[in-house]
């Protein structure tokens, strides 16, 4: 439209002009937001995966308490320390399957979150005791 106006105004039917748009280079803030959004999606999907594993664990603990399975094992001669240590090791192993998968996927996609790797490795030692304690708040496994 502007070109047509200028052709009439200058009286030159061959008049033309071209525009060129050169964007500015990305700013530090834009690069930071891009990197943060990638980490945010990783955190979101990891949180879903880990919450599912913890849900299965707490559900099993509630069912075990309701059916008094531990009581039956204690009556048959099992020590409580052996019971809880075996339970903790098995639950931690279930969680480490997810942790190892997460770390392998980080390496496959060249996402180098070294501090997150340390957090993931230590995660079972914090969440498992918390899960065991919180299981006493529930009376039905569907609510846990």
Q: Per-residue pLDDT averaged across 68-97, rounded? A: 88
How far is C-alpha 78 from the geometric centre of its chain's CA atoms? Answer: 37
pTM value is 0.64
The number of CA neighbours under 13 Å toward the Cβ of 34 is 6
CA dihedral 35, 39, 42, 44 (to 10 degrees): -120
CA distance 16 to 47: 58
pLDDT at residue 97, as a whole number: 92
Confidence of residue 110 (pLDDT cuts 50, 70, 90): confident
Q: Domain residues of the chain, as ranges?
A: 43-137
Given a cut of 70, whether residue 73 has pLDDT beyond it is yes
Q: Per-residue pLDDT averaged across 84-101, rounded? A: 90
Q: Which tokens is 138 given? A: 């529930």
Given a cut of 70, whether residue 7 has pLDDT beyond it is yes
Q: Per-residue pLDDT averaged across 114-141, rounded? A: 87
How far is C-alpha 139 from the geometric centre of its chain's CA atoms? Answer: 28
């Amino acid at each position: 439209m502007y070109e047509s106006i200028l052709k009439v105004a200058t009286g030159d039917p061959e008049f033309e002009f071209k525009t060129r748009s050169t964007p500015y280079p990305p700013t530090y803030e834009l690069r930071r937001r891009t990197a943060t959004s990638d980490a945010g999606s990783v955190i979101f999907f990891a949180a879903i995966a880990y919450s599912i594993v913890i849900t299965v664990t707490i559900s099993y603990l509630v069912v075990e308490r309701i059916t008094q399975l531990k009581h039956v094992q204690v009556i048959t001669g099992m020590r409580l320390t052996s019971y809880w240590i075996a339970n903790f090791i098995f639950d931690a192993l279930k969680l480490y399957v997810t942790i190892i998968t997460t770390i392998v996927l980080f390496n496959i996609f060249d996402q180098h979150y070294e501090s997150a790797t340390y957090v993931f490795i230590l995660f079972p030692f914090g969440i498992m005791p918390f899960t065991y304690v919180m299981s006493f708040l529930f009376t039905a496994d569907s609510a846990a």
